[in-house]
Amino acid sequence: MVATGQATKERNKITYTKIDEDVIRNIGYTSIENNSDKKMVLLGDKYSYVLSRGIEDVDLMTKLDPKYLQMPKVVYVDRSTEDYISTDLDFDYVRPDEKYTDQEKSILKNICNETKTNSWKPKTYYHCSSTLKGNLYKTRTSDKRNYSLNQGRKVEIRQMGSTTYREYGDLSILPLTLAVDAVTLPLQLLWLGSSWIIYNNNQSQQN
């Protein structure tokens, strides 16, 4: 059973308890011929998050200009069964000049709400949210060696209410049959941020 000594937080009248934390180091898609079964994989220091629902929204997000994306510093992942997880990917899309292109509006209207800033001169921006669901595994040692990057995005893993689940050591390792393709730049920008890309590009040039 998982120890739940962390403080609890209430969101939407549901109590969440932090049970672990992680850092996403890289992302990619499963390597399969049948595109309808495509899954997105977030590779963390401890866990691999294999997401099968909601990734269509992520595909849309990668078509947006990353410099206008405002992502949260922490991604919250909720466990709902022993290995089933969900996460609400929330972000804002803000153009300071408010000159949103027709392509941007077409994408944003599917997953975002147009809103106004609270100021003396309100500006239009988009608040976006998408629920992603999938399964939780332990990260393979080979993935840590081959895919791990210096910086990443923090993850806080939570449980709802008083329900407890298996500890990290009792989870299954990401199956060897599940191959992960190399990530693409838009996905890196979305999940890890433009500052991460600049940092790692500089590191590569120095090496």
106 assigned to some structural domain: no
Write the pLDDT tens digit of every residue in 113-151: 888 888 888 888 999 888 999 999 998 888 777 766 667
pTM of the model: 0.77
Q: Mean pLDDT score of the chain, rounded to an integer?
A: 76
SS3 (DSSP) at 184 = coil
**Residues 13-31: what's their mean pLDDT?**
82
**Lowest-confidence range among 26-30, 71-75, 161-165, 195-199?**
195-199
CA distances (Å), origin 82, targets 70, 91, 165 = 32, 28, 5
User: What is the DSSP track for 86-97?
Assistant: EEEEEEEE--TT
The confidence score (pLDDT) of residue 35 equals 58
112 assigned to some structural domain: no
Supply the range of the domain harboring residue 65: 8-88+132-206
Write the pLDDT tens digit of every residue in 154-190: 899 998 776 666 677 778 888 777 777 756 555 555 5
Number of domains in the chain: 1
Structure tokens at 186: 């838009």
CA–CA dist 163, 180 (Å, integer)? 32
The confidence score (pLDDT) of residue 196 equals 40
**Lowest-confidence range among 68-72, 92-96, 164-168, 189-193?**
189-193
Place of tokens 């977030």: 42
185 assigned to some structural domain: yes
Do residues 64 and 107 lie in contact, with contact meaning Cβ atoms separated by under 8 Å? yes
26 assigned to some structural domain: yes
**Residues 60-76: what's their mean pLDDT?**
84
